[in-house]
């Protein structure tokens, strides 16, 4: 029986690794569809940003209570996985609590610390579930934000419930294990009682030894198979940000948030008009299109942003266009970009790694013209994002395509463009009269 369990565990471990690797390869392939963009300057500064924002959860603490709860879940998730190492080795080698004899008296202290974290994760996830399903926090509700309808709402609930179940499994497993130790079962290595599970031992006080072994093994398998399932599921879920938050914050924009990047082709044209000679070959090349119509027209960082989105809705909750009833939701922009990437990825998998035109595009089939025109470019969404995503950059590139490639701009915008061209200002008056307002000051 023990050999069968070892074999089954090794098969499950290998299958999980293969599925995660295959999924990671698809994500990498679709991100690489994006245009090249250099983001390797100032590595020291980038490491500092990653440490503060991704590891230290700095921006989550803008809202302290939620920040503390999220930090408890996040650190619990990271540190509890240290215990997973022992469980994996136990399963592969057919052992039980492999590290107990090596660590001696330190072992129950370490497991007690993990139980403390597990309790924190259990409480935080329960509170998050209550906020989402009972208190119904506004920015998370599909009745107000259409992008949260269906799967996005269910995804968050599945993850929270799964984490609660996994934490209950590990705590009750430890309690049943302690009771079996008290009964003197030879398979269960003698350790001291653990921090929290000791208080759960009365639940198993009157169980038979056979029932205790059955429950302990069932909880052990539930916990480890749940971890394996979680590892696979995360790659399809918004919780991919657990991993991608690190590279995404490292490669974040270092310049001022309000700084818009000029298009090299337009810069070259302006320089030519002004008689400036310093125009490089890369600037004079005529692009296939101005701006972006589909995901392949965006940069690889834009596409990584889409996969890193946590769907928290902080960006949308501060968007002035959304607050005044416009259709624009920065969160939806990121979710739509990711959905289109997923569709493109499936297309490429079915066609030996090559994309076959499916007649669809990000702009039009996913993101509407009405959405991108509503943006005020205020950067509130960029400022608010806890993992330094830039929805505005995608909006600007889509808008550039609509205006410059398709020549479809609102009439009032065309008038502004004409005024900028002739008067060097958005308003229709002569540049010579620009400072008339100051004459009587």
Q: What is the DSSP letter of 299?
A: B
Helix (H) or strand (E) holding 22: helix 2-31
pLDDT digits (tens, 9 = 90+) for 11-32: 999 999 999 999 999 999 999 9
Residue 141 to residue 144: CA distance in whole angstroms: 6
The pair of three-digit structure tokens given for residue 89, joined into one six-digit string = 């080795």
- Listed as own residue / partner, the contacts of 150-159 with beta carbons closer than 8 Å and 24 or more positions apart are 152/238, 152/311, 152/335, 155/237, 155/238, 155/311, 156/132, 156/238, 156/311, 157/129, 157/132, 157/133, 158/233, 159/233, 159/237, 159/239
Tokens 């509170």 identify what position?
127
- pLDDT over 80 at 47, yes or no: yes
| Predicted pLDDT at 346 | 94
pLDDT digits (tens, 9 = 90+) for 208-234: 999 999 999 999 899 889 889 989 999
Mean pLDDT of the chain: 88
Q: What is the pTM of this model?
A: 0.86
Contact 345, 29 (CB under 8 A): yes
407: three-class secondary structure by DSSP: coil
- Listed as own residue / partner, the contacts of 410-414 with beta carbons closer than 8 Å and 24 or more positions apart are 410/373
The pair of three-digit structure tokens given for residue 135, joined into one six-digit string = 């208190």
| Predicted pLDDT at 278 | 59
CATH class of 32-57+287-411: mainly alpha
**Percentage of residues in the chain having pLDDT higher than 70:** 96
- pLDDT over 80 at 318, yes or no: yes
């Amino acid at each position: 029986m023990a050999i069968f369990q070892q074999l089954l565990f090794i098969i499950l471990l290998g299958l999980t690794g293969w599925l995660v690797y295959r999924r990671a390869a698809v994500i990498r392939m679709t991100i690489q569809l994006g245009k090249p963009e250099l983001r390797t300057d100032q590595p020291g500064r980038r490491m500092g940003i990653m440490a503060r924002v991704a590891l230290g959860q700095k921006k989550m603490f803008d809202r302290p209570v939620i920040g503390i709860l999220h930090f408890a879940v996040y650190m619990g998730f990271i540190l509890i996985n240290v215990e997973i190492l022992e469980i994996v080795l136990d399963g592969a080698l057919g052992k039980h609590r492999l590290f107990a004899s090596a660590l001696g008296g330190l072992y129950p202290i370490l497991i007690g610390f993990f139980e403390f974290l597990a309790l924190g994760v259990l409480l935080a996830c329960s509170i998050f579930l209550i906020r989402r399903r009972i208190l119904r926090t506004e920015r998370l509700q599909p009745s107000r934000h259409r992008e949260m309808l269906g799967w996005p709402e269910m995804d968050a609930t599945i993850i929270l419930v799964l984490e609660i179940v996994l934490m209950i499994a590990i705590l009750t497993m430890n309690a049943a294990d302690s009771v079996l130790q008290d009964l003197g079962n030879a398979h269960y290595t003698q350790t001291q009682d653990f921090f929290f599970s000791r208080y759960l031992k009365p639940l198993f006080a009157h169980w038979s030894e056979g029932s205790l072994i059955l429950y302990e093994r069932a909880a052990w398998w539930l916990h480890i198979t749940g971890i394996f399932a979680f590892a696979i599921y995360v790659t399809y879920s918004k919780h991919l940000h657990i991993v991608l938050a690190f590279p995404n914050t490292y490669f974040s924009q270092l310049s001022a948030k309000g700084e818009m990047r000029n298009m090299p082709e337009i810069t070259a044209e302006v320089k030519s008009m002004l008689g400036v000679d310093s125009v490089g070959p890369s600037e004079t090349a005529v692009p296939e299109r101005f701006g972006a119509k589909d995901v392949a027209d965006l940069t690889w960082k834009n596409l990584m942003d889409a996969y890193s989105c946590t769907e928290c809705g902080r960006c949308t909750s501060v968007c002035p266009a959304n607050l005044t009833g416009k259709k624009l939701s920065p969160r939806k922009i990121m979710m739509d970009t990711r959905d289109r990437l997923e569709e493109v990825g499936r297309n490429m998998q079915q066609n030996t790694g090559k994309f076959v035109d499916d007649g669809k595009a990000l702009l039009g089939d996913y993101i509407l013209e009405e959405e991108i025109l509503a943006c005020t470019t205020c950067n509130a969404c960029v400022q608010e994002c806890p993992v330094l995503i830039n929805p505005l950059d995608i909006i600007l590139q889509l808008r550039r395509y609509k205006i410059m490639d398709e020549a479809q701009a609102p009439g009032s915008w065309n008038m502004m463009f004409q005024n900028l061209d002739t008067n060097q200002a958005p308003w229709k008056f002569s540049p010579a009269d620009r400072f008339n307002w100051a004459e009587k000051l």
